A and B are shown apart, each in its own frame.
Chain A
Amino acid sequence: MKALIAAIKRHRTGYLFISPFFVLFGAFMVYPLVSSLVLSFYSWGGGSVRTFVGFANYGRLFRDAIFLKSLANAGVLYLLYVPLMTFLAIVLAVLVNSAWLKLRSAFRTVIYIPNVVSLVVLGLLFSFVMNRSYGVLNMLLSYVGIGKVSWLGDPLAAKFAVAIMMIWRWLGVNMIYMLAGLQAIPSELYEAASVDGAGALGRFFRITIPMLKPVIVFALILSTIGTIGMFAEVQQLTDGGPMNSTVTPVLHLYNTGFRYFKFGYASSMAYVIFIIASALSIAQLRIARRFG
Chain B
Amino acid sequence: MPNLARLVQRGAPRWVTYLVVSVICAAILIPFAWMLSGGLKSRAEIFRLPLSIVPREPNLAENWQNLLQKRPYFLRNLGNSALVAGAYTLGVLFFCSLIGYGFAKHEFPGRGLLFGVVLATMMVPSQATIIPLYLIFRKIGWMNTYWPLIIPGLAQAFGIFFMRQYISTIPTDLLDSARIDGAGEFRIYVRIVLPIIKPALATLGIITFMTSWNSYFWPVIVLTQPKMQTLQVAVTNMAGAIRVPFELIMLACTISLVIPIIIFLLFQRYFIQGLTVGSVKG
Residues on A with beta carbons closer than 8 Å to the beta carbon of B189: 17
Question: Is A195's CB within 8 Å of the partner chain B?
Answer: no
B60 proximal to A (CB < 8 A): no
> Given known contacts A109-B268, A121-B256, A124-B239, is B155 in contact with A96 (CB within 8 Å)?
no
The answer to whether A176 touches B216 (Cβ under 8 A) is no
A51 within 8 A of B: no
Whether B24 and A128, one on each chain, are in contact in the complex, defined by CB atoms closer than 8 angstroms, is no
Q: Which residues of B contact A257 (CB under 8 A)?
A: 130-131, 134
Known: A111-B25, A120-B236, A139-B51. A36 touches B128 (CB 8 A): yes
Residues of A contacting B14 with CB < 8 Å?
100
Please choose the segment from A22-30, A60-68, A72-80 that sits at the chain B interface, where 4 or more of its residues have CB less than 8 A away. A22-30
Distance between A269 CB and nearest chain B CB, rounded to angstroms? 9
**In the complex the two chains form, is A200's CB within 8 Å of B121's CB?**
no
Q: Is the beta-carbon distance between B103 and A18 smaller than 8 angstroms?
A: yes
Please, which residues of chain B bring their CB within 8 A of the CB of A219? 279
| CB-based contact A120/B8 at 8 Å | no
Complex Cα gap A128–B254 (Å) = 13
Q: How far is the CB of B192 from chain A (nearest CB, A)?
A: 14
Contact B125 A14 (CB under 8 A): no
A33 touches B31 (CB 8 A): no
Cα–Cα distance between A221 and B195 once the two chains are bound (Å) = 36
Mark out the residues of chain B between 130 and 155 whose CB falls within 8 Å of any chain A CB in the assembled complex. 130-136, 151-155
Q: Which of B107, B275, B280 lies in contact with A11, CB distance below 8 A?
A: B107
| Residues of chain A with a CB closer than 8 A to B132's CB | 31-33, 35-36, 39, 267
With A116-B214, A232-B216, A273-B125 already in contact, 5 other A-B pairs whose C-beta atoms are closer than 8 Å = A116-B260, A120-B236, A232-B232, A253-B127, A270-B131
A107 to B101, CA, bound (A): 38
Mark out the residues of chain A between 118 and 159 whose CB falls within 8 Å of any chain B CB in the assembled complex.
Answer: 118-121, 124-129, 131, 133-136, 139-140
- Inter-chain contact A274/B124, CB cutoff 8 Å: yes
- The 23 listed contacts between A and B (C-beta, < 8 Å) are A17-B102, A21-B155, A24-B154, A29-B124, A39-B131, A96-B21, A107-B21, A109-B265, A114-B28, A118-B213, A118-B256, A119-B214, A131-B246, A134-B246, A140-B30, A181-B279, A200-B9, A218-B278, A229-B127, A232-B232, A250-B127, A267-B132, A270-B131
Contacting A at CB under 8 A, from B4-57, are 8-12, 14, 17-18, 20-21, 24-25, 27-32, 34-35, 38, 46-47, 49-51, 53
* Cβ contacts B92-119/A at 8 Å (1 or 0 each): 0001001101110011110100100110
Question: A125, B31: Cβ atoms under 8 Å?
Answer: yes
Nearest residue in A to B272 (C-beta to C-beta)?
A176
B245 CB, min distance to chain A CBs, angstroms:
11
The prevalent SS among residues of A at the interface is helix
Whether A218 pairs with B216 at a CB distance below 8 angstroms is no
Q: CB distance A176 to B275 under 8 Å?
A: yes
Which residues of B are at the interface with A, using a C-beta cutoff of 8 A?
Answer: 8-12, 14, 17-18, 20-21, 24-25, 27-32, 34-35, 38, 46-47, 49-51, 53, 95, 98-99, 101-103, 106-109, 111, 114, 117-118, 121, 123-125, 127-136, 151-155, 160, 185, 189, 210, 213-217, 221, 232, 235-236, 239, 246, 249-250, 253, 256-257, 260-261, 263-265, 268, 272, 275-276, 278-281
* A125, B253: Cβ atoms closer than 8 Å: yes
| Minimum Cβ distance to chain B for residue A147 (Å) | 15
> CB distance A24 to B155 under 8 Å?
yes
- Name B125's contact: one of A91, A125, A225, A232 (CB within 8 Å): A225
Cβ–Cβ contact B108 & A15, under 8 A: yes
**Interfacial residues, chain A to chain B (CB-CB below 8 A):** 7, 11, 13-18, 20-22, 24-25, 27-29, 31-33, 35-36, 39, 88, 91-92, 95-96, 98, 100-101, 107, 109-114, 116-121, 124-129, 131, 133-136, 139-140, 168, 171-173, 176-177, 180-181, 183-184, 199-201, 214-215, 218-219, 225, 228-229, 231-232, 235-236, 250, 253-254, 257-258, 263, 266-267, 270-271, 273-274, 277-278, 281
| Contact, CB under 8 Å: A111 / B99 | no
Report A-chain residues with C-beta under 8 Å of the C-beta of B103.
17-18
Asked whether, in the complex, the Cβ of A173 is within 8 Å of the Cβ of B275, the reply is: yes
Docked Cα-Cα span, A101 to B18, in Å, equals 8
Do residues A95 and B20 form an inter-chain contact, with CB atoms below 8 A? yes
Question: In the bound complex, do residue A11 and residue B279 qualify as a contact, i.e. CB atoms below 8 Å apart?
Answer: no
In the complex the two chains form, what is the Cα distance from A191 to B246 in whole Å?
A: 54
Q: Are B25 and A136 in contact (CB under 8 A)?
A: no
Residues of A within 8 A of B133 (CB): 28, 32
Q: How far is the CB of A109 from chain B (nearest CB, A)?
A: 7
Q: Nearest chain-A residue to B278 (Cβ)?
A: A218
A95 surroundings in chain B (CB, below 8 A): 17, 20-21
Q: How far is the CA of A121 from the CA of B249 in the complex (A)?
A: 9
B67 CB to closest chain A CB (Å) equals: 14
Query: Considering residues A120, A219, A236, which has the most beta carbons from chain B within 10 angstroms of its beta carbon?
Result: A120
Minimal Cβ-Cβ distance residue in A for B264: A116
